[in-house]
Structure 1
Amino acid sequence: MSRCVYKDTLAVYGKSAGYSSSLAGGFMRRGITVMLGTIFLGVAATSALAQGGQGGRGRGPGAPACTTVACDVQGDWERNRGLLVGVAEAMPDDKFGFKPTPAQQSFGERIMHVAGIDVKLLSTLGGKTPAPMLNMQATSKADVVAALRQSMDFGAAVLKEFNDQQLSERVTSLPFMGPTASRLRVIYFSMGHSQDIYGQLAVYLRLNGVTPPASNRP
């Protein structure tokens, strides 16, 4: 594994997690696994792994350790937001139309894909926070980053509406999620999808000589 790929992977999963535990399977796998078996026992185990002994990763230094699943979820969302916004901000303005190959989407289009899917998925949770009207035709850095921030702010607000019990409740989400899905599974599916795209965006940056901010560590 090259040093660049290793550091980009650590940016997503974190040093303390490791590849064979915690987040090594990605947010998506963890969310789906949580919903198998006894919901609260599964969530509790997953939450402990997510924190990695760091008191709620993504909630900032000095933040008190999480004691609820809802807190863990909100912390994971904030870390997810930081990675995505950071990688978007790092790309130069004139590279938002960059494509590694003609058949692929541009850097800006990939980010808009994340923003659009997040809003669609999280709108099915049944929260009271109104979904933002994203400019899905955005192409400039300013407009694309603004749309991404809108989607991330929406997600953060919606997640705060649900407690542990409500996160385990089932809702009707998008068709590919099945007839019903727990709110927790929908949320982690959304974050897992974002992390998949983050991995692509990190490559887009490196092809343009830019180190992803989260990978810019010793």
Structure 2
Amino acid sequence: MKRFFALAFTLILAVSAAAQVKGPVAPAMTPEQIKSSESLAAKFDESAAREKRRLETFADRPLGGVIQRSFNIFTNYLVMAAEMMPESSYGFRPTPDVRTFGEQINHATGSHYSFCNQAGLPPGVQKQTAPNLAGVTSKPAIVAALRESIAYCDRILAAASEAWLMEVVPGLGGSSSGQIRAMRAHAFIYNTVHSAEDYGTITTYLRMQGVVPPSTALHPRP
């Protein structure tokens, strides 16, 4: 139980930090970036409409609802970042010993399947596993795989009841202590925290390639 609340607290801190972090003022956006940002904002609005339907039953899903809402925030940013980065920059890596941008997105995709399958599946959801993305460098293929991984986790969370999420089960990872017994919700909270970490990582790649991250492009500071 202590581990569960510690993870929940970490998630809250991550959301708060993402909203409040300050850094160098972003350079002025080019007309092409503005057009791209406006298009992405429209896509963000589409997902917001989907989220609004979920929030109508939020009172009945205080645990699952907040996990799904937080997951949607960061994964929307991940998808927008993947779409904003030019395909010519998918092979970019800030230093020789880290992943390329494309590999970092593929890492996020694989992690979604790993964490969302950890706790088992609620009734009505068919199991999917991560596709083999080794050597995949095509932007359309990478973005499509990322989207499907998010949709898969989304289907699980939409089908998960509060009682199912609160069941304590063995074999959950994402902890320095290895496999632990915890609520099923643990896996989904950790998945959201990890998605936030992945987004924070790729903002560096975007900035170094002259691309304004979507969280800044959509909510510019005055």
With over 3 angstroms needed to count, the CA separation of the structure-2 counterparts of 1:170 and 1:159, relative to structure 1, is: same
Q: Output the amino acid matched with 2:189.
A: Y
In structure 2, the residue matched to 1:135 is 132
Q: Output the amino acid matched with 1:151.
A: S
Asked if the contact 1:96–1:106 (Cα under 8 Å) also holds between the matched residues in 2, the reply is yes
1:35-54 superposed matches below 5 A: none
| Distance of 2:54 and 2:152 partners within structure 1 | 25
What TM-score comes out, normalization by structure 1 length?
Answer: 0.69
In structure 1, the residue matched to 2:51 is 59
Tell me the alpha carbon deviations over residues 107-140 of structure 1, each in whole angstroms, 9 at most, x when there is no partner.
0111111111110111122113321441322211
Give the total of aligned pairs: 170
Residue 57 of structure 1, CA deviation = 11
In structure 2, the residue matched to 1:26 is 14
The DSSP-based 3-state class of the residue aligned with 1:142 is: helix
| Distance of 1:174 and 1:141 partners within structure 2 | 30
Which one of 142, 147, 152 corresponds to residue 144 of structure 1?
142
Which one of 88, 96, 105 corresponds to residue 94 of structure 1?
88
Unaligned runs of 5+ in 1: 1-20, 28-55
| Distance of 2:200 and 2:49 partners within structure 1 | 19
Asked if the contact 1:58–1:75 (Cα under 8 Å) also holds between the matched residues in 2, the reply is no
Asked if the contact 1:111–1:148 (Cα under 8 Å) also holds between the matched residues in 2, the reply is yes
Name which structure has the greater RCO, CA cutoff 8 Å, separation 6+. 2
| Distance of 1:73 and 1:175 partners within structure 2 | 16
Percent identical residues: 28
The more displaced of 91-100 and 72-81 is 72-81
Tell me the alpha carbon deviations over residues 29-76 of structure 1, each in whole angstroms, 9 at most, x when there is no partner.
xxxxxxxxxxxxxxxxxxxxxxxxxxx998249954721222222222
| Distance of 2:54 and 2:183 partners within structure 1 | 31
Asked if the contact 2:109–2:149 (Cα under 8 Å) also holds between the matched residues in 1, the reply is yes
| Distance of 2:215 and 2:174 partners within structure 1 | 33
Tell me the alpha carbon deviations over residues 57-105 of structure 1, each in whole angstroms, 9 at most, x when there is no partner.
9824995472122222222222222111111111001101100011111
With over 3 angstroms needed to count, the CA separation of the structure-2 counterparts of 1:166 and 1:157, relative to structure 1, is: same
In structure 1, the residue matched to 2:203 is 202
Residue 24 of structure 1, CA deviation = 5.2
Unaligned runs of 5+ in 2: 1-8, 16-47
What TM-score comes out, normalization by structure 2 length?
Answer: 0.68
